[in-house]
Amino acid sequence: MLQNLRNYILIFCFLIISGCKNSAQTQIPSEYRFENQIGYVNDYDDLLTLEQENNLEKILSDYDLKTTNEIGVVTVKSIKPYTDINQFGDDVLTDWRFGKDDKFNGLLIIIDGKERMISIRFGTGIMKTLSNEKTQHILDDIITKRFKEGRFYEGITDGIEHIATELKD
């Protein structure tokens, strides 16, 4: 009888412990896994030419070496099963661990070409310098303006230049 009670208590404790999660840990459901990160430029929607991708990769790599801020570009054919590109971007930023672990200074430009959605998401280390208002200005007046003209590469590079300027100030 005592042995059975002990076994029940052990099983109960095991179930309680295995059901606990670290509240600081972000869990992304397995069906929401993302493509593997290739580099700073991850053009899964083929919006850029290979030459443009290589140029952007060099620009962003040099910027990282100079400042330690990591800026990345992700284009996707669809954010499904997500409906919110901001949540999608936050989860990609977390999943890929973009930015330095001790600085949280990663920034991603996320583009869903099919649904014509774009977002800029960044870690807390960048929030101190780049406000939501500045980010919205860069999206609306710089990047989206070029995209409407079909100039994706120019929209991305001009947006990155403005972001780099804001982060320098």
The domains of the chain, with CATH numbers, are 37-168 (3.10.310.50)
Quick check: 92 and 76 in contact, CB under 8 A?
A: no
Quick check: 138 and 121 in contact, CB under 8 A?
A: no
Predicted confidence pLDDT, tens digits, the chain (169 residues): 656 555 445 454 343 443 433 333 344 444 455 778 889 999 999 999 999 999 999 999 999 999 999 999 999 999 999 999 999 999 999 888 888 888 889 999 999 988 999 999 999 889 889 999 999 999 999 999 999 999 999 999 999 999 999 998 6
How far, in Å, CA of 22 to CA of 114, rounded?
36
How far, in Å, CA of 116 to CA of 113, rounded?
5
